[in-house]
Chains A and B, each alone.
Chain A
Amino acid sequence: MTLEVESRKETLAEDGLPVEELVVNVGPSHPSTHGVCRVIVHLDGEIVTRAEPVIGYLHRGIEKMCENRTYLQVVPLTDRLDYVGSMYANWAYCRAVERLAGIRVPERAEYLRVIVCEMQRIASHMMSLGSAAADTGAATMFIYAFDERETIVELFEDLCGARLTYNYVRPGGVSFDIPEGWTDRLLEFCRTHRVALREMDKLWFGNVIARGRMKGIGVLAADDAVAWGASGPVARGSGVNWDLRKHDPYSVYPRFDFDIPTGSAGDVYDRARVRLYECYESCRIIEQAVAQMPGGPIKAEGLQRLIAPRPGDAYDHIESARGSLGVYIVSEGGPRPHRVKFRSPAFCNLALLPLIAEGHMLSDLVVCLGSLDPVFGEVDR
Chain B
Amino acid sequence: MAFVDRLGEILSEGGQGGIILTSIDALADWSRGKSLWAMPMGTACCAMELIAASFAKFDFDRHGSFPRPDPRHTDVMVVAGTITRKMAPAVKRLYEQMPEPKWVIAMGNCAVSGGIFFYDSYSVIRGVDEFLPVDVYIAGCPPRPESLQDAVLRLRELISTESIAPGVKHERTLSLPRSGDVSFGVRPGSAEEGDAE
Q: Tell me, yes or no, whether A and B come into direct contact in the complex with CB atoms closer than 8 A.
A: yes
**Bound: A114/B55 CA distance, A:** 29
A58 and B43 form a contact (CB under 8 A): yes
A65 and B121 form a contact (CB under 8 A): yes
B86 and A146 form a contact (CB under 8 A): no
**Bound: A28/B94 CA distance, A:** 11
Q: Enumerate 27 A-B pairs (CB-CB under 8 Å) in ascending A order.
A: A29-B41, A31-B69, A35-B43, A36-B43, A36-B87, A57-B84, A58-B43, A58-B44, A58-B81, A58-B87, A60-B44, A60-B121, A60-B123, A62-B121, A68-B120, A143-B55, A143-B56, A146-B51, A146-B52, A146-B56, A147-B55, A147-B56, A150-B52, A153-B52, A164-B49, A165-B45, A377-B45
A64 at the interface (CB under 8 A from B): yes
Residues on the B chain within 8 Å of A29, using CB: 41, 69, 90-91, 94
**Bound: A76/B55 CA distance, A:** 27
Residues on the B chain within 8 Å of A164, using CB: 45, 48-49, 142
Residues on the B chain within 8 Å of A83, using CB: 44-45, 48
B116 at the interface (CB under 8 A from A): yes
**Bound: A64/B42 CA distance, A:** 24
**Bound: A83/B45 CA distance, A:** 5
Residues on the B chain within 8 Å of A106, using CB: none
| CB nearest neighbor in A for B69 | A31
CB within 8 Å of A: which residues of B? 41-45, 47-49, 51-52, 55-57, 69, 81-82, 84, 86-87, 90-91, 94, 116-117, 119-124, 141-142, 144
Residues on the B chain within 8 Å of A127, using CB: 48
**Bound: A58/B83 CA distance, A:** 7
- A59-92: contact bitstring with B at CB < 8 Å (1 yes, 0 no)? 1111011011000000011011001100000000
| CB nearest neighbor in A for B81 | A58
Distance to closest chain B CB from A64 (angstroms): 6
**Bound: A67/B124 CA distance, A:** 17
Q: Which of A56, A62, A65, A84 is close to B86, meaning CB atoms less than 8 Å apart?
A: A56
Distance to closest chain A CB from B172 (angstroms): 37
B55 and A61 form a contact (CB under 8 A): no
**Bound: A59/B123 CA distance, A:** 7
Where chain B touches its partner, the secondary structure class is loop
Distance to closest chain A CB from B191 (angstroms): 47
A150-B52, A150-B55 are contacts. A61–B142 as well, Cβ < 8 Å?
no
A64-B120, A80-B116 are contacts. A57–B43 as well, Cβ < 8 Å?
yes
B57 and A147 form a contact (CB under 8 A): yes
Distance to closest chain B CB from A95 (angstroms): 22
**Interface size of A in residues (CB-CB distance below 8 Å):** 34
| CB nearest neighbor in A for B49 | A164
Residues on the A chain within 8 Å of B87, using CB: 28, 36, 57-58
A28-B90, A83-B45, A143-B56 are contacts. A77–B116 as well, Cβ < 8 Å?
yes
Distance to closest chain B CB from A61 (angstroms): 4
Give the residue among A30, A58, A61 with the most B Cβ atoms within 10 A: A58
**Bound: A146/B56 CA distance, A:** 8
| CB nearest neighbor in B for A79 | B45
A28-B87, A30-B69, A68-B120 are contacts. A165–B41 as well, Cβ < 8 Å?
no
| CB nearest neighbor in B for A82 | B45
A315 at the interface (CB under 8 A from B): no
**Bound: A284/B81 CA distance, A:** 35
Residues on the A chain within 8 Å of B55, using CB: 143, 146-147, 150
Going nearest first, the 8 A-B pairs with the smallest beta carbon separation are A83-B45, A31-B69, A61-B121, A65-B120, A57-B87, A146-B55, A68-B120, A36-B43
Residues on the A chain within 8 Å of B51, using CB: 146
A146-B55, A164-B45 are contacts. A59–B86 as well, Cβ < 8 Å?
yes
Distance to closest chain A CB from B163 (angstroms): 32
Residues on the A chain within 8 Å of B47, using CB: 35
A64-B122, A376-B44 are contacts. A58–B82 as well, Cβ < 8 Å?
yes
| CB nearest neighbor in A for B94 | A29
A84 and B48 form a contact (CB under 8 A): yes
Residues on the B chain within 8 Å of A56, using CB: 84, 86
A57-B43, A150-B52 are contacts. A76–B116 as well, Cβ < 8 Å?
yes
A198 at the interface (CB under 8 A from B): no
New A-B pairs, 14, CB < 8 Å, besides A29-B94, A31-B69, A163-B142: A60-B82, A60-B121, A61-B120, A64-B120, A64-B121, A65-B117, A76-B116, A80-B44, A143-B56, A146-B51, A147-B57, A163-B52, A163-B144, A165-B142
Residues on the A chain within 8 Å of B122, using CB: 61, 64
| CB nearest neighbor in B for A76 | B116
Residues on the A chain within 8 Å of B86, using CB: 56-57, 59
